[in-house]
Homo-oligomer: A and B are copies of this chain.
Amino acid sequence: MHEVAIIGDGYTAAELLRLIAGHDQMEVIMVTSTENIGININRLYPQLRSCYNLTCQATDLEQIKSRCEAVFLALPHGLSVPMVKELTRSGLKCVDLGADFRFQDVNIYQHFYEVRHEAPELLGEAVYGLPELYREKIKNAQIIANPGCFPTSAILPLAPLLQSGLIEPHGIVIDSKSGVTGAGKAMKPASHFCEVNEGIKAYGVGTHRHAPEIGQELSRAAGQKVGMIFTPHLVPMNRGILTTSYAQLRSGVSARQIREALEDRYRSEIFVQILEPGVFPHTKWVYGSNYIHIGIYADDASGNVILVSALDNLCKGASGQALQNMNLMLGIEETTGLHGMGVHP
């Protein structure tokens, strides 16, 4: 049994606990907190009653190092860096669910997250944790930068097409719609039920922090700087991201090639489901599961390509993917603990 700790007690921590409860080779033996020290996880998250009897404790790295083999960090950005530095120095494997290790260029991180990075030397070591793109590197990594929820939803459909030169690397529009758990458990006016329910709005228009993350990975796939714009929207639902990506067929490329490229690329990837022609995903189909569903529209006449992707922001968009990464790092079968299907209707 692999014994792990979770640093943090927010929604992604709760989702890790839910998933790992069904894992037969991994056990969470510690959850740390700043605000809820001494409180039983069952009071914070009554949905976990009967499966856990853990009390939140203060973050004590010495204790973690002595008792755990690996750590999930589910913290606000900026806080993970010193912890990851110390934990990995002692040989623990770390999956960071925050943004601290996602950027290859420390300046982009510092600009968008408005914080100084305290260990830029680790950025080269960290692996961007998208198993479908970087599986082999992940297996040997000690630090995983778990991708953002929006980036996961946009990179998986777009990267293969850019990599194989099927779509134009500029003029890409990524329009995402997210449930409210994406904003976390902290109270903010924008998370008040009455400000969200029965309406929809855009936010972070032109300025969202996930834009440079998406840009980094799409450019890496394309082998050149990609021109794209990203706008997230807040939808009155707890979970789910739907991302509608618009691109143009490259000259000489046919619509059929788009579908073939994605079907070929993901045929053996259990968590990436390419839907039949004419079928477009509903986020509820992947609710609580680690799947991403992708629907494809491509039109030879206009050259328009529309990719619609759906995932659960807490699962494939965060904790499910983190567990997938951790499985790979620890040499466990990748899908362990992740077999649950979407809870629908």
Tell me the A residues contacting B by CB distance below 8 Å.
11, 14, 18, 21-22, 43, 45-51, 171, 173, 175, 177, 180-181, 185, 187-189, 191-203, 205-206, 227, 229, 231, 233, 235-240, 242, 244, 246, 270, 273, 275-276, 279-289, 291, 293, 295, 297, 299, 302, 304, 306, 308, 310, 314, 339-345
Contacts and interface: CB of A to CB of B under 8 A. Distances in A.
A227 to B, nearest CB: 8
A209 to B, nearest CB: 16
Copies in the complex: 4
Contact of A193 (B14, B171, B206, B236): B236
14 contacts: A47-B284, A47-B344, A177-B177, A180-B194, A185-B194, A187-B192, A191-B193, A194-B238, A199-B282, A199-B284, A200-B240, A201-B282, A229-B246, A231-B244
Contacts of A45: 344
A324 B21 CA distance: 20
A308 B343 contact: no
Nearest to A205: B297
Nearest to A343: B288
Contact of A192 (B185, B299, B341): B185
Contact of A306 (B205, B238, B289): B205
Nearest to A246: B173
A14 B61 CA distance: 45
Closest CB pairs A-B (n = 5): A199-B284, A47-B342, A194-B345, A201-B282, A288-B343
A192 B194 contact: no
A141 to B, nearest CB: 27
A2 B211 CA distance: 50
Contact of A275 (B46, B48, B189, B200): B46
Contacts of A283: 199-201
A339 to B, nearest CB: 6
Contact of A273 (B49, B188, B189, B200): B49
Which of A43, A227, A233, A273 lies at the interface centre, i.e. has the most chain B CB atoms within 10 A of its CB? A233
Given A180-B193, A283-B201, A345 B297 contact: no
